[in-house]
């Protein structure tokens, strides 16, 4: 699957395209198939996202998982500060990244 990600222009937060909006939670990310670049261009022009790009991901029972560790760390947060992660109480978060 293809996922579209970027950063919120004002806050810098990592965000994922859900099909109709942006979410901080990758579990809500949608498969953008071949439309990622067009969506990115429109959303960037509307100043709803900064530096968007399309990545490869895989569908898993718990939701989309980016193919590269860099994007998994972006999705979850720094592996060395679980207290700052998007789901700080989730004990499985570290395993999901690595």
Partner 1 sequence: MYKYDEFDQSIVDTRVAEFRDQVARRLAGEISEDQFKPLRLMNGLYLQLHAYMLRVAVPYGTLSSRQMRMLAHIARKYDRDYGHFTTRQNIQYNWIKLEDAPDILADLASVEMHAIQTSGNCIRNTTSDQFAGAAADEVTDPRPWAELLRQWSTFHPEFSYLPRKFKIAIVAAEEDRAAIKLHDIGLQLYNNDAGELGFRVFVGGGMGRTPMVAPVIREFLPTGDFLSYLEACLRVYNRYGRRDNIYKARIKILVHELGAAEYARQVEEEWAHVKTLGLDPPPGEFERIAAQFALPAFETGIADTVDRSDPDFAVWLDQNVKAHKQPGYAIVNISLKPVGGIPGDASSAQIDLMADLAETYSFDELRVTHAQNIVLPHVKKADLYTIWQKLVAADLASANLDLISDIIACPGLDYCSLANARSIPVAQKIAKRFEGLDRQRDLGELKLKISGCINACGHHHAGHIGILGVDRKGTENYQLLLGGSGAEDASLGRITGPGFDEDGVVDAIERAIEKYRTLRTDGERFLDTYRRVGMDPFKEAIYG
Contact residues for partner 1, defined by CB under 8 A: 7, 9-14, 44, 47, 50-51, 67-70, 73-74, 77-81, 84
Nearest distance from C-beta of residue 16 to partner 1, angstroms? 13
Cβ nearer to partner 1, comparing 19 with 42: 42
Torsion-angle region of residue 51: left (phi > 0), alpha (psi -120 to 50) or beta?
A: left
How many C-beta atoms surround the C-beta of residue 2 within 10 A?
Answer: 18
The first and second tokens of residue 71, run together, are: 């994007």
Integer Rg of the chain from CA: 13
Q: What is the three-class DSSP state of 15?
A: strand
Nearest distance from C-beta of residue 61 to partner 1, angstroms? 22
Nearest distance from C-beta of residue 45 to partner 1, angstroms? 9
Cβ nearer to partner 1, comparing 19 with 58: 58
């Amino acid at each position: 699957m293809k996922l579209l990600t970027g950063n919120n222009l004002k806050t810098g937060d990592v965000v994922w395209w859900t099909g109709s909006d942006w979410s901080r939670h990758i579990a809500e990310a949608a498969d953008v198939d071949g439309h990622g670049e067009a969506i990115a261009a429109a959303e960037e022009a509307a100043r709803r996202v900064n530096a968007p790009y399309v990545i490869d991901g895989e569908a898993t029972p718990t939701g989309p998982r980016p193919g590269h560790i860099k994007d998994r760390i972006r999705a979850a947060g720094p592996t060395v500060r679980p207290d700052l992660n998007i789901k700080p109480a989730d004990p499985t978060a570290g395993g999901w990244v690595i």
